[in-house]
A and B are shown apart, each in its own frame.
Chain A
Amino acid sequence: MRLMRISGTKWLVFFMAFFLLPIYSAHGENWDRIKEKAGNIQTISAQFIQEKNLEILIKPLISKGAFYFRAPGSLRWEYTSPIQSILLMHDGKVRRFMGSENGFKEDAGPGLQGMEMVLQEITRWLKGEFSNNPDYYSSLEGDNKIVMVPKNEAFAKIIQKIEILLSDRPGVIETVTIYEGKTSFTKIRFRDVNLNGELADTLFESIP
């Protein structure tokens, strides 16, 4: 029996890490070049398909949604199917909305308070401080794969590693795979990725 304790906030910080990874293109370049490139990207928008694989599952669970980011710290991570959920981060405020038959309801749970921590983490990533992250080791494998391994022992029991596969298009990520165990992993495929397009304030301030 394995029992693990880890705060929801810390998990969220870890989870949010890969939201921002599209800004780092690592085609044969070292971390300094990645840091340099990080300054060039101001906005990202993409559709995503999330595929959850578990040993118990006969077929993977598929979720779909959209992702929007605008520097320095505005984010919208939206699931449209099979669940409706929107996470907004803007001007240092974090809000989560849950969809139901009666529309969206705001989740004002205490867990959201810890999201300030996430914003601080994001700011650091935006500066390209990627390889010196205190929470995980990062390495480049080949030309297009970033592997992140948690440093913290409690983290490592929950998330073994994260693999980010970069596409041929500079600055664009193809997939992110989060391994919880040998047979349990979540693969997120990004498509229709648009860099430095115009993203309105309302996208990060209101729903839907």
Chain B
Amino acid sequence: MKTEMTGNDTRSPILLLLGLLFLTACSAIPHIIAVDAALTPKTIKNCETVFNKGTWQFAHVIEATLPGGRKSQLIGVTEVSSNPERIHAVMMTIEGLVLFDGLEDGKLTINRGVAPFDSLSFAKGLMEDIRLMFLDPDGEPMGAGITDNGFEVCRYRISNDAVIDVMVRPDRMFEIRKYENEQLIRKVVAELNSRSIPEKIEFVAYEPANYRLNLRLISAEQISTSE
């Protein structure tokens, strides 16, 4: 069957593509396909393996793509404890100048901040991003199953308007997606090494500011195994 395209039709694939791109960036919460109730605990357990338990110290090379497209390289040192939850984060230039040193242990403390890394809003956002990458979401999963792609997924409701999906892929990769008001605002894609530690992490923030962080692991040290 032959189909004739009008001028408007010619634009349609482009509009469709743009529409798809828009939908990808602002995608709504996807449907979870339920699994057999007997398999749910196993799925949840697999989701939990994404996050290292105890206290760990990570050092990363960070390539940041900031709003406007400007790229910057930094070194990050992060100490995270799973129970009680505690985050100590240090960001420095490659020359070693500490730009930010902050602690979140129930209250947020900035030990050192060099402009523009000296604001409370920056510190708060950084701690939230680190929490998303390295710590189990609060509470029990509200659901577990598989995605349309066949990945195991656990869904956590962390507030009235925010949901986190943790997806375990069969290729030693995992994904974490955070939705707010049913729109995707953060995405983490990580590749695990042989020690089950994220070797490479790609972090994308969509809203309210759009930025991208690519983290490459320099070192990972387990400080304590206590829960």
Contacts and interface: CB of A to CB of B under 8 A. Distances in A.
B96 A186 contact: yes
A158 B88 CA distance: 19
Given A4-B112, A4-B114, A50-B96, A61 B72 contact: no
Main secondary structure, interface of B, reads strand
A5 B130 CA distance: 24
Nearest to A96: B73
Contact of A3 (B63, B79, B97, B113): B113
B221 interface: yes
Contact of B71 (A59, A98, A178): A98
Nearest to A187: B96
B109 interface: yes
B57 A107 contact: no
Nearest to B218: A82
Interface in A91-112: 98, 100, 105, 107, 109
A79 interface: yes
Contact of A178 (B61, B63, B96, B101): B96
A57 interface: yes
A54 B92 CA distance: 11
B118 A4 contact: yes
B205 interface: no
A6 interface: yes
Contacts of A63: 94, 96
A98 B96 contact: no
A109 B64 CA distance: 13
Nearest to B74: A83
Interface string B86-97: 001010101111
Contacts of A1: 109-111
B88 to A, nearest CB: 6
B77 A100 contact: no
Interface in B190-223: 216, 218-219, 221, 223
Q: Which of B111, B114, B218 has the most CB of A within 10 A?
A: B114
B118 A3 contact: yes
B168 interface: no
A76 B74 CA distance: 19
A47 B20 CA distance: 50
A30 interface: no
A100 B63 contact: yes
A83 to B, nearest CB: 5
Contact of B59 (A61, A85, A109, A180): A61
Interface of B: 57, 59, 61, 63, 70-73, 75, 77, 79, 88, 90, 92, 94-98, 101, 109-115, 118, 216, 218-219, 221, 223
Given A58-B221, A98-B71, A109-B70, 9 more contacts: A4-B115, A52-B92, A54-B98, A58-B223, A61-B59, A83-B73, A178-B96, A186-B95, A186-B97
Closest 10 CB pairs of A and B: A186-B96, A5-B115, A52-B96, A3-B118, A82-B218, A58-B221, A83-B61, A1-B110, A109-B70, A98-B73
